[in-house]
Amino acid sequence: MKPLLLASLVLAIAGPAHAATLVGSGYDQPLFLTAPMGDSRLFVVEKGGRIKVQQGGSVSTWFDISSQVDTAGERGLLGLAFDPGFASNGRFYVDYIDKATLNTVVASYTVNGSGAVDMASGRTVITVAQPAGRDNHKAGWIGFSPADPVHLFIATGDGGSANDPDNNAQNLNSNLGKLLRITPQAGGGYTAPTDNPFTGSVPGNDEIWAYGLRNPYRNSFDRLTGNLWIADVGQGAREEVDFAAAGSLGRGANYGWRVREGTIATPGISDPTPPNLTEPLFDYGHDVGSSIIGGYVYHGPDASLAGKYVFGDFVSGALWTYAGGTVTPLASPFGGSTLTSFGEGGDGTLYAVGIDGSIYQVSATVPEPATTALFAAGLAALGGFIRRRRA
């Protein structure tokens, strides 16, 4: 797909009449939500190390590794993925920052016959070393693609501090700032698929699938097409969305960081064109928002959102849809620095998660009469949003 620069995107200024309905509250710093395909329950991941299950008006703790999880800064229990065979094998995976080592750990667990988690079944699948003393850029998304259900994909941030001082994202001997792809083993551990781009005699770590990411937060697979969407948080200027079609899933792609930030060269970098560069599908400037939260292509019960990519911004609290080169705002229930994630229910219903403990169902859009404005290079169509120092 030919990349679309932000200058070509049209933003509808007026918002819809409504966009979200509160369906849950009282959670402790929730960071993610998901469910196995076809399951009516919602599994809510809390930063502190617990996963709670909501079914109707009932909420219970389903999983608890809070004693093992470090929660400083952007650390915590960050990701959850159900094995494509969960209905038969009961296996799921979590991504967290280990309290003892401060490294990223992806571990597997299984449920017993009654559906409760067998905590003794925990097995470490992979560990990714994190730089000492840095508590940001931990990413944490994990997932299986419907186009590639055998392999677990793992998003890692660059390890933290401003402008990737260790150059991890472009370093093919580091698993930081990457999208990893592995084959998890039932008894723990993993193998690297032989069709990964850097296996065998090709220089680079065998686990790496794509690279050049700063803090991918969050990724998603389109549940119908298998296409991959990556929202990568920017440094001081641009927030970006990267796209890879299901046929390739971005194999070997270089998304540019730290040489590129969105569609621009990173200031102070002498060579702004790294090898295998894949430009973002689109990006936006910090007068619109300052910390992207990746979402999903909508395939839930609301026909008005069908096929649109729904995403948002942590700092501004804004929500948008993207389709065919056009970004359209949704009315948002979130204030600044509240939105932490989107998540899909088992039937494809889309939810938005707030750090304040709230869960909203993203619902019908009712557009009002709108004017439009073009994003021009370096110009913002919207202003007045909260800014924060990038680090």
Tens-level pLDDT at each residue, the chain (391 residues) = 333 333 334 444 345 545 799 999 999 999 999 999 999 999 999 999 999 999 988 999 999 999 999 999 999 999 999 999 999 999 999 999 999 999 999 999 999 999 999 999 999 999 999 999 999 999 999 999 999 999 999 999 999 999 999 999 999 999 999 999 999 999 999 999 999 999 999 999 999 999 999 999 999 999 999 999 999 999 999 999 999 999 999 999 999 999 999 999 998 887 778 889 999 999 999 999 999 999 999 999 888 899 999 999 999 999 999 999 999 999 899 999 999 999 999 999 999 999 999 999 998 554 443 323 323 323 233 322 222 334 5
What is the average pLDDT value for the chain, to the nearest integer? 89
pTM of the model: 0.91
Domains of the chain: 6-374 (2.120.10.30)
What is the four-CA torsion angle of 375, 378, 384, 387, rounded to 10 degrees? Answer: 130
In this predicted structure, what is the pLDDT of residue 302? 87
pLDDT digits over 91-135, tens only? 999 999 999 999 999 999 999 999 999 999 999 999 999 999 999
pLDDT digits over 57-83, tens only? 899 999 999 999 999 999 999 999 999
